[in-house]
Amino acid sequence: MMSSWLQCSTCGEQVAIESLGACPACRHGILEVAYAAMRDKDATVLDTPRQGSGIWRWQGLLPVLDGARVPISLAEGDTPLLPGYDLAPNLWLKYEGKNPTHSFKDRFQSVAISAAVALGKTRVVCASTGNHGVAAAAYSARAGLQCAVLTHEEAPAAHVEAIRQFGATPVAVPADVRNDLLRKLVDAGWYPSTTFWPMPVSNPYGVEGYKTIAFEIVEQLGKEVAAVAHIFVPVGGGDSLYGIYKGFHELVLLGVLERLPRVYACQPAGAAPLVAAQARGADDVPHVEIDRSVALSIREADTGGHAWRGLRDSAGVAVPVTDADIMDAAARLGGLGLSVDPASAASVAGALVAVRNGTVHDDGPVVCILTASGARWPQPQGWPPSGARLAATSADQAYRALVALTG
């Protein structure tokens, strides 16, 4: 009997495991991996011998995939949950910068590229503002697959260099042809390890990797505490929020969690499709016009309906954050020894707004997902302050100047 398969989240049709994109039956539903264990409420799946490390400890709750070198792993996952100290009472930071290529996209690509191998694919394509492309390049290299990354024109140079370092091909493509080019490549047999047209439909295997963030949080907080948590996620296309939500939801179906923690979406005020959907009480997420934002990784005109479903089902809220909120949060995180991608700082910015305005009104823990390290990102002007130069001709004078600087 099959333990996992692919099905449509809208019409329920079970589809071939190589189906990627919208549902081939109803043409618009999002495909997702379904499990016999969830259908049968069989919690013994959690006792599956835990092989490997990181996300693959949860093999019983990940799709069954076969192939050479599978699972394709670089020891992603098992990231720390650090106390946020005086950021806010009972606030926790899930630091995804600790992943092998420094972002939570490694969880996604580990499963997505494992699926590519199992499906016999040899060429991978991905469209990315940075982190996604770096992770796709690394896992494709690990699997021995070719990889092309359609980069965003504003992608920081360090990301493009990292993609090249993993032997992949980064190419800058004008935004208006990117989606059609992706479609052509997919039609020609390339494996889309990414969100693609019709936007935003995701790779159904990749999002399974994000579930492990939920599993780890439950392990780290304990199930009673996790059930009443407020989880803040920086959301762009929405796989992030949906994947984490799906992880919690499956633990509810298995009877491990008594209820769903609330999952909140943090989006830049000038690029916030979920905030717009919430304001209109809409069932579908509208396309929005977008402004510039320091949080390039989550600056999207479209967020998927799957994320909207996860947010509403968990009684979460979409929180808009300004660039000023984001930079302030990044500076505070720097003060706690953490360098983050500006998009990651949006989760803390959103949590602080929600705590301040009473959206979070009980004492359940607040967990912010710091989705990526800041190592590859040029920091916004003015932060961190550039180093001072001590104009001193003696150690004595330098000593006094340094003491004055450090307060």
Residue ranges that bind Zn ion, judged by CB under 5 A: 8, 10-11, 13, 23, 25-26, 29
Considering beta carbons, is residue 29 or 238 the nearer one to ligand PLP? 238
d(CA 238, CA 254) in angstroms, rounded, equals: 24
d(CA 114, CA 193) in angstroms, rounded, equals: 11
> Which residue has the CB atom at the shortest distance from ligand PLP?
236
Q: Which of 57, 94, 132, 230 binds ligand PLP (CB under 6 A)?
A: 132
Structure tokens of 229?
Answer: 């948590």
What is the identity of the amino acid at 97? G
d(CA 100, CA 96) in angstroms, rounded, equals: 9
Residue 158 partner contact from ligand PLP, Zn ion, none using kind-dependent CB cut-offs of 5 to 8 Å: none
CB of 65 to ligand PLP, least distance (A): 21
- Name residues whose C-beta falls within 8 Å of residue 12's C-beta, 6 or more positions apart in sequence: none
- Based on the shown chain and the rule CB under 6 A, indicate whether residue 131 belongs to the binding site for ligand PLP: yes
Q: In 137-238, which ranges are E strands?
A: 146-151, 169-172, 191-192, 230-234
CA neighbor of 20 nearest in space, from 156, 169, 172, 201: 201
Q: Is 194 helix (H, G, I), strand (E, B) or coil?
A: coil
- Based on the shown chain and the rule CB under 6 A, indicate whether residue 343 belongs to the binding site for ligand PLP: yes
Instruction: Kindly indicate which of the ranges 87-95, 216-224, 253-261, 338-346 contains the residues binding ligand PLP, using the contact rule CB under 6 A.
Output: 338-346
Residue 238 partner contact from ligand PLP, Zn ion, none using kind-dependent CB cut-offs of 5 to 8 Å: ligand PLP
CB of 383 to ligand PLP, least distance (A): 18
For the window 8-47, what string marks contact with ligand PLP as x by the rule CB under 6 A?
A: ----------------------------------------
Considering beta carbons, is residue 60 or 300 the nearer one to ligand PLP? 300
For the window 289-318, what string marks contact with ligand PLP as x by the rule CB under 6 A?
A: --------xx--------------------
- Based on the shown chain and the rule CB under 6 A, indicate whether residue 339 belongs to the binding site for ligand PLP: no
CB of 56 to ligand PLP, least distance (A): 21
CB of 31 to Zn ion, least distance (A): 8
Considering beta carbons, is residue 12 or 255 the nearer one to Zn ion? 12
What is the identity of the amino acid at 256? V
Write out 148-168 in H/E/C secondary structure.
Answer: EEEECCCCCHHHHHHHHHCCC
For residues 178 and 171, is the Cβ–Cβ distance under 8 A? Answer: no
CB of 70 to Zn ion, least distance (A): 28
What is the identity of the amino acid at 74? L
Considering beta carbons, is residue 87 or 235 the nearer one to ligand PLP? 235
Residue 360, CB-side half-sphere exposure with 13 Å CA sphere: 27
- The label of the residue with tokens 């190419």 reads 171
Give the ranges where 254-296 is alpha helix by DSSP (H): 273-280
Binding site for ligand PLP (CB under 6 A): 103, 105, 131-132, 234-240, 297-298, 341, 343-344, 371-372
